[in-house]
């Protein structure tokens, strides 16, 4: 690689200037050479080089912050001067810059007197500028803009395509705080030209506690940890991993000791970071953790005792297989998929009535539940949603009305879950417009947020507004006709046949549409535009479909995604362990999109089964999976756990398995928006964002657990406490210590320590009755971190 340096400029003299002129004419520097940065080429006032509007002027305005949301890139602009946000609408920006409309202070751009142009006078504060000084007079920035104006202020007639950004170094490892490294950014264009664009790039750190970066591309080490520096130039986004090891420990790890590839990929990074993984969690910690994560359910005292007594080396593997077969697994993960796909009673419109919305949402849940219960491959489950039909080709409107009415009648209702497809995803009132459908689809199945690209170039990805509009056109041929109100719904409940909304599918014209810069597809007139989307998602090289799902499942088990937030797959938010994510996605595809394979692969790993207890190296690690991170149990799980803890012994199995009465199951559809669910972060599924579910502890949650009538009612009406009370009232012999031990097994899912038992027994001597003391004990246990957190 040949780099043109300052010494070469001194040596080459006029030959260099000639080379630059030839380069700017589009025929010069070879693909192997890298053009010098603009900061060098425009350092002197007089140069033969001519700035390019796309490659130099617009990026410079971005680097200076002129087209940011806080300045001229805002919706209303500043001082009657508006630029496109993040600068990718070259025509609009050029028009705004060259607009000759006069103001009190002059014209923005003067071809006949370039030095008097406002775009030079204001940023240098030769004229008052609300944005302050952006660059100095006679600086290279000043010379670049001045040279552009005096050579005619030409626009980019045909936008050029940036292939990629090459960044050196590709990875940074710091040994100590305050160490520095300078980045070099090279733009590679489709015509083979390469240019050092470091001075024209914008930089961001994803964690300024670990590393900071100056505008001159100097990276400065701070605290121990790992993160990324993100680079923005033109339509390119690149990320450089940066780490400062958590310890000076450098061990050699035999990766062959790990039979699960997950552990190998995680161990490789832990070694580089100087992190020692925590030890394996105890049997009771594992059983509680995997039961909550996989089934949304606490284990029972009997199950805990049997698991502790099992001496088999494979007992954890066997327990995982048992849990995957339980209806509660399908119930809990159906609840999660309803989160991702936007299954909300309120999504069907207030005019339908909440009862109608509940019916729709319940059918949606039941449909997903059955497929999870049968372990239908994930791509086939998604296909049943994406390619859903209301009325089949051989079905008349009256037959379709009779079918749909049969699902809601009170007497002997038909089973909606047996239906081949689930059209409710497309008939929601919240996705009437093409753009709404595009946003929902991208979030649900691709794990990406397109909201920014709806109005302007996406700040953290390559997508432009045009890309978004192209993608939205896939959904132009999907329309919903008709609505059902509560009177019609009530008639259907009585057994009458009423009309139901129908999907109308069909592309109106032949067109070629872009798949978010992942290829183009031609759609014939009259065909289903969703079919090419489904085909594209199934492709092994699809950048999002499989990766988004495995990442969301991973986040469900670790409380943090490999890409985190899990629905922000962008180059500016790279995975913490790219090889791990790639392997999981590839394995998931090769398994035939087998969801059981994915759950089993994750939970059988040593990585998942690590203790939450930190060692001297990993106490601050939050993203590399060197230990389990305690996290509050989800709202639905907490609600069900309160019922389970206080249920009579004979009722335990019913409480755990009756999904119709569980918040983590069927009842979830009716509980969104209730006081308890809001406090503990259950999403109402009104947003296209995984962030709508909140699992963080709050003070209000503590107040709820200590004082809310729901908690007091659960304890006051506890059939288990009443069961114990009957024994004491009848003066039957009972084992006090055994009952106290069961209180711990029911709540924190482990036996009590000797000290805990002594304290409990001591408290019993101060109360009027054993049942009153047991009530106090349960209340105290329910308010411990150990109960409220999954650890």
If one compares 197 and 75, the residue with the highest pLDDT of the two is 197
**Cα 732 vs. chain centroid, distance in angstroms?**
56
Distances (CA, A) of 173 to 181, 431, 446, 452: 10, 46, 32, 33
Q: At residue 633, does pLDDT exceed 60?
A: yes
Average pLDDT over residues 375-382: 98
Given a contact cutoff of 8 angstroms between Cβ atoms, the answer to whether 125 and 132 are in contact is yes
Tens digit of each residue's pLDDT (9 = 90 or more) over 544-561 = 999 999 999 999 999 999
* Spatial separation of the C-alpha atoms in residues 218 and 203, rounded to whole Å: 10
Q: Are the C-beta atoms of 324 and 294 separated by less than 8 Å?
A: yes
pLDDT of residue 473: 92
| pLDDT, tens digit, 9 for 90 and up, residues 719-738 | 999 998 887 776 666 788 99
Average pLDDT over every residue of 99-106: 55
What pLDDT band is residue 421 in, cutting at 50, 70 and 90? very high
pLDDT in tens, 438-456: 999 999 999 999 988 787 7
User: Is the pLDDT confidence value at 540 over 80?
Assistant: yes
| Band (509; pLDDT cuts 50, 70, 90) | confident
Kind and range of the H or E run holding 240: strand 236-244
Q: Is 595 exposed, middle or buried (0-12, 13-18, 19+ CB in 10 A)?
A: buried
Sign of the alpha-carbon dihedral angle for 685, 691, 694, 699: negative
> Which residue is associated with the tokens 């006032």?
45
Q: Which of 20-24, 141-145, 187-191, 336-340 has the lowest average pLDDT?
A: 20-24
pLDDT for 253 equals 76
- On the question of pLDDT at 100 being above 70, the answer is no
CB-based burial label for 629 (10 Å; 0-12, 13-18, 19+) = middle
pLDDT in tens, 385-400: 999 999 998 999 999 9
Phi and psi (nearest 5°) for 533?
-65, -45
Looking at residues 233-251, what average pLDDT do you find?
Answer: 91
Burial call 303-331: b when 16+ CB within 10 Å, e when fewer: bbbebeeeeeeebbeebbeebbebbbbbb
Q: What is the mean pLDDT of the chain?
A: 90
Pair 598, 203: CB distance under 8 Å? no
pLDDT band of 25, cuts 50, 70, 90: very low
More confident residue, 476 or 10: 476
Q: Helix, strand, coil proportions of the chain in percent (round to 5)?
A: 45, 10, 45
Residue 319 has pLDDT above 60, yes or no: yes
DSSP letters spanning 127-140: S--TT---S-TTSH
- Residue 544's pLDDT is what? 97
Answer for the pair 536, 519: CB distance below 8 angstroms, yes or no.
yes
Q: What is the pLDDT of residues 456-486, one digit of tens each?
A: 777 888 888 888 999 999 999 898 888 888 8
Q: Are strands 511-514 and 184-189 parallel, antiparallel or unpaired?
A: unpaired
Domains and CATH numbers, the chain: 35-150 (no CATH), 162-244 (2.60.40.1080), 333-446+449-456+466-508 (no CATH), 635-679+697-791 (no CATH)
With 70 as the cut, is the pLDDT of residue 119 above it?
A: yes
Cβ burial, residue 406 (10 Å; 0-12/13-18/19+): middle
Q: Which DSSP state fits 116?
A: G
Report pLDDT for 464: 85
């Amino acid at each position: 690689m040949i780099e043109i340096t300052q010494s070469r400029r001194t040596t080459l003299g006029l030959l260099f200037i000639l080379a630059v002129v030839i380069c700017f004419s589009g025929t010069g520097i070879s693909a192997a050479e890298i053009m010098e940065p603009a900061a060098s080429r425009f350092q002197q006032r007089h140069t033969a080089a001519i700035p390019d509007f796309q490659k130099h002027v617009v990026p410079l305005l971005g680097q200076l912050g002129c087209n940011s949301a806080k300045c001229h890139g805002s919706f209303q602009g500043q001082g009657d001067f508006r630029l496109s946000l993040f600068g990718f609408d070259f025509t609009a920006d050029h028009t705004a810059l060259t607009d000759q409309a006069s103001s009190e202070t002059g014209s923005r751009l003067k071809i006949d007197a370039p030095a008097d142009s406002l775009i030079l006078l204001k940023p240098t504060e030769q004229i008052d500028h609300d944005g302050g000084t952006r660059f100095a007079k006679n600086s290279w920035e000043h010379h670049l803009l001045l040279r552009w104006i005096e050579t005619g202020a030409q626009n980019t007639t045909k936008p050029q395509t940036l292939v990629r950004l090459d960044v050196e170094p590709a990875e940074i490892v710091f040994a100590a705080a305050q160490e520095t490294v300078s980045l070099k950014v090279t733009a590679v264009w489709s015509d083979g030209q390469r240019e050092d664009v470091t001075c024209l790039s914008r930089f961001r750190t994803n964690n300024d506690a670990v590393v900071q970066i100056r505008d001159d591309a100097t990276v400065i080490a701070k605290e121990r940890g790992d993160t990324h520096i993100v680079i923005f130039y033109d339509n390119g986004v690149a990320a450089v991993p940066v780490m400062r090891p958590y310890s000076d420990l450098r061990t050699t790890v035999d990766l062959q000791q790990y039979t699960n590839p997950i552990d190998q990929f995680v161990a490789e990074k832990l070694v580089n970071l100087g992190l020692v993984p925590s030890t394996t969690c105890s049997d009771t910690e594992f059983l509680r953790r995997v039961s909550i994560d996989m089934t949304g359910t606490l284990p029972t005292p009997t199950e805990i005792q049997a698991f502790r007594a099992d001496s088999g080396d494979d007992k954890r593997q066997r327990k995982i297989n048992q849990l995957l077969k339980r209806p509660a697994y399908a119930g809990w993960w159906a609840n999660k998929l309803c989160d991702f796909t936007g299954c909300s009673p309120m999504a069907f419109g207030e005019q339908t009535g909440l009862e109608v919305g509940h019916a729709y949402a319940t059918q949606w849940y039941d449909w997903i539940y059955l497929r999870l219960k049968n372990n239908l491959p994930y791509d086939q489950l998604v296909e049943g949603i994406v390619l859903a039909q209301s009325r089949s080709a051989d079905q008349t409107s009256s037959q379709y009305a009779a079918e749909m009415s049969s699902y809601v009648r009170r007497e002997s209702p038909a089973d909606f879950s047996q239906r081949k497809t689930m059209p409710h995803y497309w008939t929601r009132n919240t996705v009437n417009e093409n753009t709404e459908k595009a946003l929902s689809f991208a979030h649900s199945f691709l794990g990406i947020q397109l909201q920014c690209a709806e109005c302007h170039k996406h700040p953290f990805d390559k997508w432009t507004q045009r890309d978004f509009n192209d993608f939205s056109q896939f959904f132009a041929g999907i329309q919903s006709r008709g609505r059902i109100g509560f009177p019609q719904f009530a008639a259907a409940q009585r057994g009458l046949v009423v009309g139901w909304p129908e999907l109308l599918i069909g592309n109106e014209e032949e067109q070629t549409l872009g798949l978010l810069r992942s290829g183009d597809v031609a759609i014939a007139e009259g065909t289903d535009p969703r079919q090419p989307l489904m085909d594209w998602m199934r492709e092994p090289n699809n950048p999002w479909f499989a990766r988004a799902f495995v990442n969301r499942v991973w986040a469900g088990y670790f409380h943090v995604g490999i890409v985190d937030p899990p629905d922000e797959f962008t180059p500016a938010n790279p995975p913490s362990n790219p090889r791990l994510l790639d392997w999981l996605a590839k394995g998931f595809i090769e398994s035939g999109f087998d969801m059981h394979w994915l759950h089993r692969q994750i939970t059988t790993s040593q990585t998942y089964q690590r203790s939450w207890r930190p060692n001297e190296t990993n106490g601050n690690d939050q993203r590399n999976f060197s230990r389990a991170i305690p996290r509050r149990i989800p709202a639905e799980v907490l609600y069900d756990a309160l019922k389970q803890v206080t249920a009579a012994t004979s009722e335990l199995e019913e409480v755990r398995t009756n999904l119709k009465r569980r918040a983590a199951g069927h009842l979830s559809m009716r509980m969104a928006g209730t006081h308890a669910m809001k406090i503990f972060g259950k999403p109402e599924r009104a947003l296209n964002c995984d962030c709508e579910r909140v699992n963080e502890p709050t003070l209000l949650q503590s107040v709820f657990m200590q004082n809310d009538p729901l908690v007091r009612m659960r304890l006051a009406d506890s059939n288990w406490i009443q069961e114990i009370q009957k024994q004491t009232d009848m003066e039957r012999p009972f084992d006090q210590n055994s009952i106290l031990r069961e209180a711990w097994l029911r709540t924190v899912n482990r036996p009590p320590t000797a000290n805990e038992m002594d304290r409990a027994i001591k408290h019993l001597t101060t109360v009027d009755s054993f049942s009153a003391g047991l009530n106090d004990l349960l209340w105290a246990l329910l308010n411990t971190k150990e109960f409220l957190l999954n650890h």
